[in-house]
C-alpha cells in the first residue's frame, strides 16, 4: 500500500486538471489498444462482412437496384462469367495463368466447361484466397470462365486477382446471372448505393430556397434583437430581462412540445415509427396475457419490458373506450411524455454545468429540447424514447454527483443505481453508460479522502452500492432470459430467435465507413450510402422516414423544413464538435469534470453504433436514434461550443440568429398541419 499512498498524496498536491489529464491519457491509451484489437478482428474475423479490395481487384456483385425492404430469401446464388484471351492476338495456349479468388462466401469454378474447383463446406474460410492454376484447362483462342458464388443471409460477391489483367475483377467485362440464362452487368461493391425513393424528395438546396423567407425573418429578428440587447445592456428593463430567463425558456419549450403532442397524436398514422406495429404486438401481449414474452416470440419481443409494462394498462383503457385506430395512436402519449421530459433534463444538465451562465443555459436547453432525433422518435410506438429519457436522468444524476461540493455524495448513489436499473429495464443499450458512470462515482468518492486506504475503501463501497442497486432493479429480467434462453440478452438479429431476415447491402466496404456528403444534398435515405451520412442525416432529420419505404405512405412531416434543416444544423453540429474538442482545456473544474463524463459517454455510444454497423451489415443499423439517451450530452456539448463561437461580440448576434433559424426548422418539420 506504500505505492498507493504515494500516488494518493501526489494526486492531492496536483491540481485537479492534471488528474483529469492523467485519467484522460490512460483512457485514450486503453481506447487505442482496444481499437487496434478491434480493427484486427474486423479484418480477419469471418463473421465481419468487410469486403476489402486487393490491389487492383475489387469485389463485384450483380448490378441490381437497392432494396429497402427486409429480405427473407436466405440462399443467394450468382454465376459470374468472363470471356478473355490470355495473350492478345495470339492463338496458342499461354504458359501459365493463375488467379487468386475470394468469394463471399463459397465458389465453384469452371473454365471452358470444365469444373476445376468445387465449393467448400467451410463458410468461415471466405477471407482466405483460393489459388487456382487455369493453365491445364485453357485452349487456343478465347476462353470463358464461370464462377458460381453461394451465400447465405447475404449477397453473393466475388473478387479475382491475377497477373493477367483481363481476369481481374474491376466491374468491366464481367457479367452476372442468377438463373444461368439471362446475363447482366456487374458493379463494384464500393460504389455508393442510393435508394430510388431518395430523389422523390427535394434537395437541401431547393428546400432552403423555399423556406428562405421564414429563415431570414427569424434570423434577422433574432440577430437584431441580440445586437440591440448587447448595445443597451446597461439600460435593459427588468420586465424584458425576465422573459429570457433559462427557466422561462424551458417552460416555453415544454409548452411547445405539449402543443405539438396534442396536435400530432391523432394526426400521425399508427404505422409511423420504427417497427410501431410490432411494438404494439408486444404491448398487446403484456396487456392480454399479463406476462412478459420471450425474445423468440415476436419481431420486437427481445426488447427490455419497462415501456411495455407501462403502456399495457393504457392499452386496456384506450381499447375499451376508443376505436382501435384511435386507441393505437393515443398510446403515443408515453413516448411523447418521455420526449417532453428530455426538455427538463437538458435544462437541468446545462444549469448544473453552467450555473453562472444564463446565455449558455438558454442555448443548451434550446438545442437539447429540439433535437430532431428526439422529436421524431417520440411520435411512434417504441421503447427508444423512454429508454433515452431514463438514460438522460442517469447522466443528470451523475453530473450532479461529480460537480457538486456535497460533503456526503453517498446520498446520491442509491437514486443513481435505481435510475440505471430502470434504464436497463427500458433498453439494454443503457449498459453503455455503466463504465463512465462507475468511473465518475469512483473518482468523486476517491477525491473525498486524503488517506489512500480510506479513499480506496470509500470508492469501492460507492461503486458496490450503485451496482447492487442496479442489479436489484433490473437483474431479474436478464436472469430470466438466461434461464429460459441461455443468454441474458438476444438481439433482434440473433439466429437463436429463429426469425431470419437481412437487408441490403449485406456487407461493408471501406467507402461505407469513410465517405460523407450525401446527407447534405439528399438526406432522405442517405443512410444507404455510408455510416457518417446515416448518422448525420438521422440525427438532424427523419432520414429513414420512421422505417417506411414507400413515398405514398411517408410520415406527414413538413419535408421542406426537415430537409433544409440539415444544412442549418451545421452550426449546432460544429458547436458540439468544438465542445468535445475542448474537453481538457476548460479552466473551470466544474466544466472540465462534466465534459469528461459527457465526451466519454458520447464516444462510447458512437463506438458501439459503429461496431454494430460493421457487424450487422444492413443499412438500418446506422441510426442516430440509438443515442437518444445522450440528449443531455448533446445539449452540454452544444452550449460549450457555442460559448467558444460567441466569444467575439460581433459574432454573437449572428450565432444566435443561426440557432434560432435551426430551432424553427426543427420544430416546424414535425408539427403536422
Beta bridge partners, 80, equal 147, 176
34/147 same-domain check = no
Residue ranges making up the domain that contains 28: 2-44
Cis peptide before 105 (omega within 30 of 0): yes
Residue 7's pLDDT is what? 46
In a domain, 267, yes or no: yes
User: Could you tell me the pTM of the whole model?
Assistant: 0.90
CATH of the domain at 67: 2.60.120.260
Residue-wise pLDDT for 365-388, tens only, equals: 999 999 999 999 999 999 999 999
432/489 same-domain check = yes
110/18 same-domain check = no
179/308 same-domain check = no
Q: What is the DSSP letter of 177?
A: E
Provide long-range contacts, Cβ within 8 A and 24+ apart, for 4-12. 4/452, 4/453, 4/456, 5/451, 5/452, 5/453, 7/452, 8/450, 8/451, 8/452, 8/455, 9/452, 12/450
424/322 same-domain check = yes
15/68 same-domain check = no
614/654 same-domain check = yes
Residue-wise pLDDT for 403-414, tens only, equals: 887 778 888 899
349/405 same-domain check = yes
459/319 same-domain check = yes
Strand, helix or coil for residue 300: coil
Domains: count for the chain? 3
Residue 429's pLDDT is what? 93
416/283 same-domain check = yes
576/648 same-domain check = yes
In a domain, 425, yes or no: yes
577/621 same-domain check = yes
| C-beta separation of 657 from 541 below 8 A | no
In a domain, 453, yes or no: yes
Which residue is it, cell 415476436? 298
In a domain, 431, yes or no: yes
Residue 33's pLDDT is what? 66
In a domain, 316, yes or no: yes
In a domain, 241, yes or no: no
- Which of 193, 200, 204, 295 has its CA nearest to residue 617? 193
Beta bridge partners, 76, equal 151
* Residue ranges in the chain whose pLDDT is less than 70: 1-37, 86-95, 233-243, 586-587
Residue 239's pLDDT is what? 41
Q: What is the three-state SS of 28-66?
A: HHHHHHHHHHHHHHHHHCCCCCECCCECCECCEEECCCC
Amino acid at each position: 500500500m506504500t505505492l498507493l499512498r504515494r500516488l494518493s498524496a501526489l494526486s492531492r498536491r496536483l491540481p485537479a486538471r492534471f488528474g483529469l489529464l492523467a485519467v484522460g491519457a490512460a483512457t485514450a491509451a486503453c481506447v487505442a489498444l482496444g481499437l487496434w484489437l478491434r480493427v484486427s478482428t474486423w479484418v480477419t474475423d469471418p463473421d465481419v462482412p468487410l469486403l476489402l479490395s486487393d490491389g487492383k481487384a475489387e469485389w463485384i456483385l450483380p448490378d441490381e437496384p437497392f432494396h429497402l425492404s427486409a429480405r427473407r430469401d436466405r440462399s443467394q446464388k450468382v454465376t459470374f462469367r468472363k470471356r478473355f484471351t490470355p495473350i492478345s492476338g495470339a492463338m496458342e495456349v499461354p504458359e501459365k495463368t493463375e488467379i487468386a479468388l475470394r468469394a463471399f462466401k463459397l465458389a465453384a469454378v469452371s473454365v471452358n466447361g470444365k469444373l476445376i474447383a468445387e465449393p467448400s463446406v467451410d463458410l468461415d474460410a471466405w477471407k482466405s484466397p483460393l489459388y487456382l492454376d487455369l493453365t491445364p484447362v485453357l485452349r487456343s483462342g478465347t476462353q470463358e470462365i464461370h464462377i458460381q458464388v453461394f451465400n447465405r443471409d447475404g449477397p453473393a460477391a466475388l473478387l479475382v486477382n491475377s497477373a493477367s489483367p483481363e481476369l481481374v475483377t474491376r466491374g468491366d467485362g464481367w457479367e452476372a446471372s442468377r438463373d444461368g440464362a439471362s446475363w447482366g452487368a456487374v458493379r463494384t461493391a464500393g460504389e455508393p448505393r442510393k435508394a430510388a425513393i431518395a430523389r422523390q424528395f427535394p434537395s437541401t438546396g431547393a428546400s432552403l430556397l423555399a423556406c428562405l423567407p421564414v429563415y431570414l425573418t427569424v434570423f434577422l429578428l433574432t440577430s437584431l434583437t441580440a445586437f440591440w440587447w448587447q448595445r443597451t445592456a446597461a439600460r435593459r428593463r427588468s420586465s424584458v430581462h425576465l422573459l429570457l430567463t433559462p427557466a422561462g425558456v424551458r417552460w416555453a419549450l415544454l409548452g411547445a412540445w405539449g402543443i405539438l403532442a396534442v396536435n400530432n397524436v391523432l394526426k400521425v398514422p399508427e404505422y409511423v415509427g420504427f417497427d410501431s406495429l410490432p411494438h404494439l404486438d408486444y404491448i398487446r401481449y403484456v396487456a392480454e396475457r399479463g406476462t412478459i414474452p420471450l425474445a423468440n416470440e415476436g419481431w420486437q419481443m427481445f426488447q427490455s419490458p419497462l415501456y411495455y409494462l407501462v403502456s399495457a394498462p393504457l392499452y386496456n383503457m384506450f381499447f375499451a373506450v376508443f376505436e382501435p385506430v384511435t386507441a393505437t395512436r393515443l398510446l403515443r402519449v408515453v413516448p411523447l411524455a418521455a420526449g417532453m421530459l428530455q426538455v427538463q433534463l437538458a435544462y437541468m444538465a446545462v444549469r448544473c454545468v453552467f450555473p453562472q451562465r444564463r446565455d449558455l443555459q438558454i442555448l443548451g436547453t434550446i438545442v437539447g429540447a429540439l433535437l430532431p432525433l428526439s422529436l421524431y422518435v417520440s411520435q411512434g410506438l417504441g421503447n427508444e424514447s423512454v429508454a433515452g429519457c431514463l438514460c438522460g436522468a442517469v447522466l443528470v444524476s451523475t453530473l450532479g454527483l461529480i460537480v457538486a461540493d456535497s460533503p456526503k455524495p453517498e446520498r446520491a448513489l442509491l437514486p443513481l443505481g435505481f435510475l440505471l436499473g430502470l434504464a436497463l429495464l427500458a433498453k439494454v443499450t443503457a449498459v453503455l453508460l455503466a463504465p463512465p458512470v462507475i468511473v465518475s462515482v469512483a473518482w468523486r468518492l476517491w477525491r473525498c479522502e486524503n488517506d489512500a486506504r480510506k479513499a480506496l475503501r470509500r470508492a469501492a463501497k460507492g461503486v458496490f452500492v450503485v451496482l447492487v442497486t442496479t442489479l436489484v432493479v433490473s437483474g431479474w429480467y436478464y436472469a430470466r432470459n438466461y434461464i429460459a434462453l441461455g443468454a441474458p440478452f438476444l438481439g433482434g438479429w440473433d439466429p437463436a430467435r429463429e426469425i431470419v431476415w437481412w437487408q441490403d447491402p449485406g456487407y461493408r466496404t471501406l467507402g461505407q465507413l469513410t465517405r460523407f456528403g450525401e446527407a447534405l444534398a439528399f438526406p432522405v435515405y442517405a443512410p444507404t450510402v455510408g455510416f457518417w451520412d446515416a448518422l448525420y442525416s438521422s440525427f438532424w432529420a427523419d432520414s429513414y422516414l420512421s422505417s417506411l419505404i414507400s413515398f405514398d405512405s411517408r410520415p406527414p412531416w413538413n419535408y421542406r423544413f426537415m430537409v433544409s434543416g440539415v444544412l442549418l444544423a451545421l452550426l449546432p453540429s460544429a458547436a458540439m464538435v468544438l465542445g468535445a474538442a475542448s474537453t481538457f482545456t476548460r479552466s473551470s473544474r466544474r466544466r472540465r469534470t462534466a465534459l469528461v463524463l459527457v465526451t466519454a459517454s458520447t464516444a462510447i455510444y458512437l463506438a458501439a453504433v459503429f461496431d454494430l454497423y460493421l457487424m450487422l451489415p444492413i443499412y438500418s443499423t446506422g441510426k442516430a436514434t440509438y443515442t437518444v439517451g445522450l440528449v443531455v450530452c448533446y445539449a452540454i456539448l452544444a452550449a460549450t461550443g457555442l460559448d467558444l463561437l460567441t466569444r467575439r461580440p460581433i459574432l454573437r448576434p449572428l450565432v444566435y440568429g443561426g440557432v434560432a433559424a435551426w430551432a424553427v426548422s426543427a420544430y416546424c418539420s414535425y408539427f403536422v398541419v
